[in-house]
């Protein structure tokens, strides 16, 4: 996105939001709550591969990203996938998306993995997210929990001065994480000129420990080259652009971030993925 246009767009949004913010509906209010409905009950997994680019250790690196998306049922007692038979276990249906990437360097490979789980009946509502980054100087992890009447992050950082600990988050309504947008934005009621407001946390797939703080964000939808273009501007200067397929199930075809990350769709299929792992 053009930096000048982005700055003007954000300033305009902040001005309007401070006076007649109701003109911009909350993102959580406009999403299709039934988007991840019965068509995902076949126990199949959507396996999508991307060609990706990122900046790591001061250099541009190219690599592959694998996203695996699947409907799952959590056991509310532990907030992990419930084993069969479910019996009288307290259950919560979610959509899970697993992110996997390895970035090769001349010294050590750098591994990034995450699991993001949102409610199937409310794609804006993150239940749990786990991230893991392995590389020099070690492994960093985060367990982000929004369940059981609390919002917290349990983390471990391999960096000096950080170590392990936990934070309690305020997590106001209509707050989302960057990582969940690959799921949540697919449930938009796509149309030209659609806009919405929300709060957006910075990326959590890092080895550093920094308490997440969500910034005010605006989303705008337009049509470009037969796809839906979803542009997100955040008050801290971040911007994200998603190119999303016009046809259901609205795969993310391309993603660009202001920090230099980029992903382009190579291949996607629906398969009994977990069975093929055995």
Q: Kindly report, residue by residue over 156-189, the tens digit of the pLDDT.
A: 999 999 999 999 999 999 999 999 999 999 999 9
Q: Tell me, what's the pLDDT at 39?
A: 84
Tokens encoding 253:
């075809």
Q: Is 273 helix (H, G, I), strand (E, B) or coil?
A: helix
How would you class 201 by CB atoms within 10 Å of its CB: exposed for 0-12, middle for 13-18, buried for 19 or more?
buried
> Rounded mean pLDDT of 84-92?
95
Q: Tell me, what's the pLDDT at 7?
A: 56
Q: Tell me, what's the pLDDT at 212?
A: 94
Give yes or no for residue 18 having a pLDDT over 60: no
- For residue 129, the number of C-alpha atoms closer than 13 Å in the C-beta half-sphere is 26
Give yes or no for residue 218 having a pLDDT over 90: yes
> Rounded mean pLDDT of 226-242?
97
Residue 106's pLDDT band (cuts 50, 70, 90): confident
Please give the C-alpha separations between residue 226 and each of 244, 254, 263, in angstroms, as whole numbers: 9, 13, 18
Residue carrying structure tokens 């050590």: 108
Q: Tell me, what's the pLDDT at 160?
A: 95
- Report the chain's mean pLDDT, rounded to a whole number: 91
CB 211 within 8 A of CB 201: no
What share of the chain in percent tops pLDDT 90?
A: 78
Residue 152's pLDDT band (cuts 50, 70, 90): very high
Give yes or no for residue 20 having a pLDDT over 50: no
Give yes or no for residue 112 having a pLDDT over 60: yes
C-alpha dihedral sign at 188, 194, 197, 200: positive
Q: Tell me, what's the pLDDT at 185?
A: 98
114-118, 162-166, 204-208, 268-272: least confident range: 268-272
Report d(CA 276, CA 138) in Å as an integer: 31
Q: Please give the residue that has the higher pLDDT: either 42 or 151.
A: 151
Q: Tell me, what's the pLDDT at 142?
A: 98
> Rounded mean pLDDT of 136-157?
95
């Amino acid at each position: 996105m053009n930096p000048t246009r982005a700055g003007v767009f954000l300033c305009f949004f902040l001005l309007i939001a401070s006076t007649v913010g109701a003109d911009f509906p909350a993102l959580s209010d406009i999403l299709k709550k039934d988007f991840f409905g019965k068509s995902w009950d076949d126990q199949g997994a959507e396996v999508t591969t991307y060609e990706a680019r990122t900046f790591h250790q001061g250099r541009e690196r190219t690599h592959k990203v694998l996203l695996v998306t699947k409907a799952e049922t959590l056991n509310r007692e532990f907030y992990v996938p419930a084993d069969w038979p479910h019996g009288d276990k307290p259950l919560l249906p979610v959509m899970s998306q697993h992110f996997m990437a390895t970035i090769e360097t001349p010294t050590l490979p750098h591994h990034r993995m995450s699991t993001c789980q949102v409610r199937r009946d409310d794609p804006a509502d993150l239940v749990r997210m786990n991230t893991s980054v392995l590389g020099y100087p070690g492994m960093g992890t985060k367990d982000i929990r929004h369940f059981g009447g609390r919002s917290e992050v349990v983390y471990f950082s391999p960096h000096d001065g950080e170590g392990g600990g936990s934070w309690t988050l305020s997590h106001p309504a209509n707050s989302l994480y960057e990582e969940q947008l690959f799921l949540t934005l697919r449930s938009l009621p796509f149309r030209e000129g659609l806009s919405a407001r929300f709060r957006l946390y910075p990326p959590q797939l890092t080895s550093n420990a920094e308490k997440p703080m969500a910034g005010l964000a605006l989303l705008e939808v337009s049509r470009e080259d037969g796809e839906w273009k979803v542009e997100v501007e955040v008050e801290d200067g971040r911007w994200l652009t998603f190119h999303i397929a016009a046809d259901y199930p609205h795969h993310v075809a391309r993603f660009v971030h202001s920090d230099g990350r980029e992903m382009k769709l190579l291949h996607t299929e629906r398969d009994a993925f977990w069975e093929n792992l055995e």
